[in-house]
C-alpha cells in the first residue's frame, strides 16, 4: 500500500491537539539524499535532518552551521563540551551523541542569537531508512503507515505503531500532494496493547466526490521524532483501494426462520450505487465450519449453529470487513451436522461428491 519517501524533512513550530500525544508540524522541502537541509523558523530555531549511514566504516556528515546575525563576534556551542568561534562553523555528525541542539551566542553579551536542532535519520548501506521507532504491521508486511476508509465519503484513518519504551516520541502526518490544504488530519489517539502502542489519526479529503472516478492518489506522509532520532513513512492510495466496511448488522428472525443482516450504518448510500457482497460463516454444534459468498441479505436458518457475516465492496476487490457479532440461535437440541450440510448444499447448488443429495438423507440414529 505504501511508498517510501526520501527521508528528509524540515521541522516547524508545534501545533495544538490532544495533549496526551506529542504532535509536531513539519514543512516540506526537497533535496538530494544524504544532504543536510534546513529552514529558519520565525523563532530563529531551525531543524536539520542528517541522514547518517549506520555502519562503522561510513564517514561522518559535515554540517555547516551559519548564524544569521549582523554581529561578528559570535560562537557556537553544544552543551558544555563543544564550542567553536565564528558565524559559520562545521559540526561533524555520525551518531546520536553528535546530534542535538547547537546554539549561536554573542561573545560580548552571551545573548542567544540562533539555534539549530540536528536530528539523525539512520540509513542502511543500500540507502534505505532503518526504522527503530516505528514498528511494522503484520499485514501488509513491511507496512509502517496503514490507512483505511469505512466508506466513500473521503474520510479515512491512518495508523502507525511504536514500542512503549518511547515516551518522548512526537509525530506529524499530512498529505504530500496537497498544497491547498485539501486533506486535514486530527491529532492522533493512542491505544496501548502489550508492548506496542498504536496511534490513529482521522483524515478528510474535503473535495472528494464519491461518485467520480479517482485519477490522482493521495500520498500521506508520517514523520516521527524520538529525542534526536528521526524516521518517516508514506502511504500512497486511492480511496477505493483502502475501503474496509464496518461489519454488517446480523440478527436471527424466529418468525420465518431466517438469518438476516443489514448494510453497516457507516456505509455509503444509496446502496444501489454502492452495493456490498457478503461472506457467511456457519459453525455447527459439531464444530463443522462452512463459508460461502452471497449478494443476498438473508439465508434460511441452518439449524443449530452459529453464524457470522462480513462485507466487501461488490465491484472493487478491496478489504473484507471484520466479522459481524455472533448471530447465534438454537431451534432444537444439538444433533448431527446434517442440517447444516443440507442447507449449505442447497444454498450453493453443490451436488454431493458421491452423487447423493444430502436433502434426501436422514440422520443416523
3-state helix, strand, coil in the chain (%, to 5): 5, 40, 50
The pLDDT tens digits of the residues spanning 55-78 come to 888 889 999 999 988 899 999 999
* Residue 259 reports pLDDT greater than 70: yes
Q: Which residues pair with residue 171 across a beta bridge?
A: 23, 224
Instruction: Say if strands 112-123 and 45-53 run parallel, antiparallel, or are unpaired.
Output: parallel
Q: How far apart are alpha carbons 88 and 214 in whole angstroms?
A: 49
Superfamily designation of domain 249-360 = Immunoglobulins (2.60.40.10)
The pTM (predicted TM-score) of the whole model is 0.73
* Cβ neighbour number for residue 280 with a 10 Å cutoff: 24
What residues does CATH 2.60.40.10 cover in the chain?
Answer: 45-123, 134-241, 249-360
45-123 CATH: 2.60.40.10
Of 259, 260, 307, 253, give the one whose Cα is nearest residue 280: 307
Q: Which of the four CATH numbers 3.40.50.720, 2.60.40.10, 3.50.50.60, 3.40.630.10 does domain 134-241 have?
A: 2.60.40.10
Q: How far apart are alpha carbons 224 and 173 in whole angstroms?
A: 9
* Residue 140 reports pLDDT greater than 90: no
Do 282 and 305 touch, CB atoms closer than 8 A? yes
* Residue linked to cell 466508506: 151
Do 117 and 47 touch, CB atoms closer than 8 A? yes
φ/ψ of 64, rounded to 5, equals -85, 125
The pLDDT tens digits of the residues spanning 178-203 come to 666 689 999 999 999 998 999 999 99
Contacts of 207 (CB under 8 A, 6+ apart): 154, 182
* Residue 18 reports pLDDT greater than 50: no
Q: What's the mean pLDDT in 204-221?
A: 92
Do 106 and 121 touch, CB atoms closer than 8 A? no
Instruction: Say if strands 218-226 and 169-175 run parallel, antiparallel, or are unpaired.
Output: antiparallel
Instruction: Note the Cα 336 to chain centre separation in Å.
Output: 45
Confidence of residue 346 (pLDDT cuts 50, 70, 90): low
Amino acid at each position: 500500500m505504501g511508498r517510501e519517501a526520501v527521508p528528509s524533512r524540515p521541522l516547524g513550530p508545534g501545533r495544538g491537539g490532544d495533549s496526551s500525544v506529542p504532535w509536531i508540524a513539519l514543512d516540506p522541502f526537497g533535496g538530494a539524499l544524504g544532504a543536510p537541509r534546513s529552514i529558519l523558523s520565525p523563532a530563529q530555531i531551525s531543524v536539520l535532518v542528517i541522514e547518517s549511514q549506520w555502519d562503522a566504516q561510513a564517514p561522518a556528515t559535515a554540517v555547516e552551521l551559519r548564524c544569521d546575525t549582523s554581529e561578528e563576534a559570535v560562537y557556537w556551542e553544544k552543551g558544555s563540551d563543544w564550542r567553536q568561534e565564528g558565524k559559520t562553523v562545521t559540526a561533524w555528525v555520525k551518531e546520536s551523541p553528535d546530534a542535538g541542539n547547537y546554539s549561536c551566542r554573542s561573545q560580548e553579551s552571551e545573548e542567544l542569537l540562533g539555534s539549530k536542532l540536528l536530528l539523525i535519520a539512520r540509513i542502511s548501506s543500500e540507502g534505505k531508512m532503518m526504522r527503530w521507532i516505528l514498528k511494522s504491521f503484520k499485514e501488509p508486511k513491511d507496512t509502517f503507515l496503514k490507512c483505511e476508509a469505512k466508506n466513500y465519503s473521503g474520510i479515512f484513518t491512518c495508523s502507525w505503531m511504536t514500542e512503549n519504551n518511547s515516551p518522548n516520541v512526537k509525530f506529524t502526518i499530512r498529505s504530500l500532494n496537497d498544497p491547498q490544504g485539501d486533506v486535514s488530519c486530527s491529532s492522533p489517539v493512542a491505544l496501548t496493547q502489550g508492548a506496542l502502542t498504536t496511534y490513529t489519526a482521522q483524515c478528510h479529503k474535503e473535495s472528494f466526490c464519491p461518485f467520480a472516478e479517482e485519477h490522482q492518489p493521495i500520498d500521506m506522509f508520517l514523520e516521527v521524532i524520538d529525542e534526536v532520532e528521526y524516521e518517516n513513512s508514506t502511504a500512497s492510495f486511492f480511496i477505493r483501494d483502502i475501503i474496509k466496511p464496518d461489519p454488517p448488522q446480523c440478527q436471527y428472525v424466529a418468525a420465518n426462520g431466517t438469518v438476516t443482516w443489514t448494510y453497516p450504518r457507516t456505509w455509503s448510500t444509496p446502496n444501489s450505487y454502492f452495493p456490498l457482497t457478503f461472506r457467511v460463516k456457519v459453525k455447527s454444534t459439531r464444530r463443522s465450519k462452512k463459508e460461502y459468498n452471497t449478494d443476498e441479505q438473508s439465508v434460511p436458518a441452518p439449524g443449530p449453529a452459529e453464524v457470522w457475516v462480513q462485507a466487501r465492496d461488490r465491484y472493487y476487490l478491496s478489504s473484507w470487513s471484520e466479522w459481524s457479532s455472533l448471530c447465534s440461535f438454537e431451534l432444537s437440541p444439538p444433533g448431527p451436522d446434517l442440517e447444516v450440510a443440507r442447507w449449505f448444499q442447497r444454498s450453493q447448488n453443490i451436488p454431493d461428491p458421491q452423487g447423493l443429495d444430502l436433502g434426501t438423507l436422514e440422520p443416523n440414529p
